[in-house]
Structure formats: structure tokens, C-alpha cells
Amino acid sequence: MTTFVIDAFEFCRTNGNRDGVTPVAEMTRLAKETADATGDIAWKVEGGTSKHGFPQLRLSTKGPVQLVCQRCMQPFAHELSSSTLLMLGKDDANADEIEQIIDDESIDVIVGAREMDMMYLVEDEALLALPHTPRHEECPDTSLLDALTSEVQSPFAGLKSLKK
């Protein structure tokens, strides 16, 4: 995967803005979670400053990935889409302090760095946007599922034949 290394604090101070498209195949951690490594993830990183004066990054990802339905075990296309706001602390203690000040569960506070690989964060965001249990809204082929449920018999079915 190509790297995109920034000075996170400078990027935020100058209201940096960068976007791109990365193939799923280049995102090794994401590719392991998909049915195949096809598709491209469009991403955008915007730097800025919060109303409290803390450096912040808005990170967005969007694109199709192929997942395996957990009902029918068939692949299906899923449109990944996410956006998150990350505030940057200088170290762990500063990050904890920022979390207490902002008191907002929807904002993640991380430790920033002068050399920060944003592609790692882009891939993290894509991974977090995956559904916990991927599945079709309605499975197109339920023959495998039907075969499994038809084989499952009640544990009392055998007792019924003994009664005769």
C-alpha cells in the first residue's frame, strides 16, 4: 500500500486536505475480511481545529467491497461508507485530557505524530465501517440454508416412533 505520511499537527494547523482512491487489494487487513480483493476505496482526509482549539482530522471512506453473507455463505457487494472525526493529543496524557474536556463519545481522540501514516488510519476507518455480521437483505439462493434446516430434526422425533 502506498504511504501517505504527514505531520499531523501541521496538516491540521494549515487546514490540509487530501483525497485519493486505493484498491482493496492494497489494504491487506481489509482484504482479509472480504470475499475477494476487488474494488476501490475512495478516501478523504481534512485537517482543522476544533471549537476548543484542538487539532482534528475528518476522515471519510467510501467504496464497494465484496463480503460473505453469514446466512447463505454467498458473496455479495456491500457499499462501505463512513466518516469520523479524530482529535489529536500530543501524548496519552494529553489525549485523556482532551477526552474529558470535549466529553463527546462520537469523537475519537488519538495521539498524533509528526510522522503519521494516514493510509493506516484510512484502512482502520474502512475496517470499522464493515458490518459486524454481513448478510444480504434477502438471500438470493437459500438452498444451502434450506438443506441444513430440513436435516435438523426435533430431538423428540425419535421418541415418537418408540411410542408405536
Spatial neighbors of 149 by CB under 8 A, at least 6 apart, are none
Q: Could you tell me which of 11, 77, 74, 68 has the C-alpha nearest to residue 45?
A: 11
pLDDT digits (tens, 9 = 90+) for 104-114: 888 999 999 99
pLDDT digits (tens, 9 = 90+) for 3-44: 889 999 999 999 999 999 999 999 999 999 999 999 999 999
| 49-67 pLDDT tens trace | 999 999 999 999 999 999 9
Determine the pLDDT at residue 72. Answer: 86
pTM of the model: 0.78
pLDDT at residue 1 greater than cutoff 80: no
DSSP state of 52: T
| Average of per-residue pLDDT values in the chain | 89
Radius of gyration of the chain, Cα coordinates, nearest whole angstrom: 23
What is the Cα 89 distance to its own chain's centre? 22
Burial class of residue 130, CB neighbours in 10 A (0-12, 13-18, 19+): middle
